[in-house]
Amino acid sequence: MTTLCPLCKIQSPDHFSVRDLNQDISDTLFHYYRCPSCGLIFLFPVPDDLASYYIPTYPAYQMPSSQELEKKAMQEHYKLETVQKFATKGRLLEIGPSYGAFSYLAKKAGFDVEAIEMDASCCKYLTEVVGVGAINTNDVATSLKKLMPYDVITLWHVIEHLTDPWDILAAISSKILPGGVLVIAAPNPSALQFRIFGRYWAHVDAPRHLQLILMQVLVKHMKSLGMTLVMATTTDKASNIFSTFDWWVASVYNFLKTKAPFLLAGNDNVSKSRIDRPADAGDGSIKALLSHRRIILFFPIRFAKSLLIEAFRLTFSLILKPIERHEGLGSAYTVVFKKD
């Protein structure tokens, strides 16, 4: 079976099919295709009820209290550091900020911040707690046309969620002032993890991730829109967060619950929590699991699973992590473009 690539408009064959492994919202099988020309991996058809896969417990929608915001935001300070390498003031638009940790930091740093967000609750939080202007919409391209130009526009792991990224990128390029910058972070389909796990890779995240875009394809496309690449990496802090041990375990979990679910029987909450936790959280849950003597004494299967994960941790630390730190193999990339 084939379908047209949304970028190249040529027939693209079926690449893989997978259900919603990360959130387990349904057992529907989703079909991804790969363009033989540009290498774009894309979901088709996009579910009509796509919004229903962004449930209230979706990790990005877990809003901190106003007292916790400062602490939560500081965990994303690396994003501000990336932006400040190229711009230190001016109008900044964040597309898809969720509750707005980065927007909060950018505002504190002196930027005039606005946001476009599809979740109504997040928009309310952005306005009332973060204190930035927020537009609640799914139609990003149309909303952009009504806005004044910006010095900085950012999309932190958002482009893979968009149904019309190419139209939105065109609209974005027209709304960046000369000398202004666009920052995009996204899953890397050239990643070591994707080569190993394929459809079970946690960053496939069907059906919320609608496309996986090769970095070089994005760079070529943005050049055609008058945007020059000034930074590209898979090894900065923003990218390394998505190459952590937790994400490896999440991918292993996705594989096992499809191919060997009996190995996860009675241990679902421990495994599933790794997918739902923030990407920059620590690895303490396995140590906590091992500390419970009753689990070791009365649930030897769980203990054996813990030992397997610890063995995988050692493999990751000694072999996989050094390989993944080579430029181009990380699980995410960060690219920065400047308007000509």
Question: 87 lies in a domain?
Answer: yes
**Residue span of the structural domain in which 119 resides:** 59-242+329-339
The three-state secondary structure class of 260 is: coil
Q: What single DSSP character describes residue 148?
A: P
Q: Is the dihedral of CA 174, 213, 330, 157 positive or negative?
A: positive
pLDDT of residue 282: 38
pLDDT of residue 66: 87
Tell me how far apart the 2 most distant CA atoms of the chain are, in Å.
Answer: 66
Question: 300 lies in a domain?
Answer: yes
d(CA 131, CA 127): 5
Q: In tens digits, what is the pLDDT along the chain, a chain of 340 residues?
A: 899 999 999 999 999 999 999 999 999 999 999 999 999 999 999 999 999 999 888 888 889 998 899 999 999 999 999 999 999 999 999 999 999 999 999 999 999 999 999 999 999 999 999 999 999 999 999 999 999 999 999 999 999 999 999 999 999 999 999 999 999 999 999 999 999 999 999 999 999 999 999 999 999 999 999 999 999 999 999 899 999 988 888 998 899 888 877 666 655 444 443 444 343 433 334 344 334 444 444 456 666 767 777 787 888 888 999 999 999 999 999 999 999 8
Do 237 and 317 reside in the same domain of the chain? no
One-letter-per-residue 3-state SS of 49-82: CHHHHCCCCCHHHCCCCCCCHHHHHHCCHHHHHH
* Class of residue 231 by CB neighbours under 10 A (exposed 0-12, middle 13-18, buried 19+): middle
pLDDT of residue 261: 78
Do 235 and 249 reside in the same domain of the chain? no
* 251-256 long-range Cβ contacts below 8 angstroms, 24+ apart: 251/193, 251/196, 251/197, 251/200, 251/201, 251/202, 252/197, 252/312, 254/21, 254/22, 254/197, 254/200, 254/201, 254/202, 255/197, 255/200
d(CA 92, CA 105): 12
Helix axes 165-174, 215-224, angle to 10 degrees: 50
Question: 188 lies in a domain?
Answer: yes
Do 206 and 120 reside in the same domain of the chain? yes
Question: 54 lies in a domain?
Answer: no
d(CA 206, CA 188): 15
pLDDT of residue 246: 83
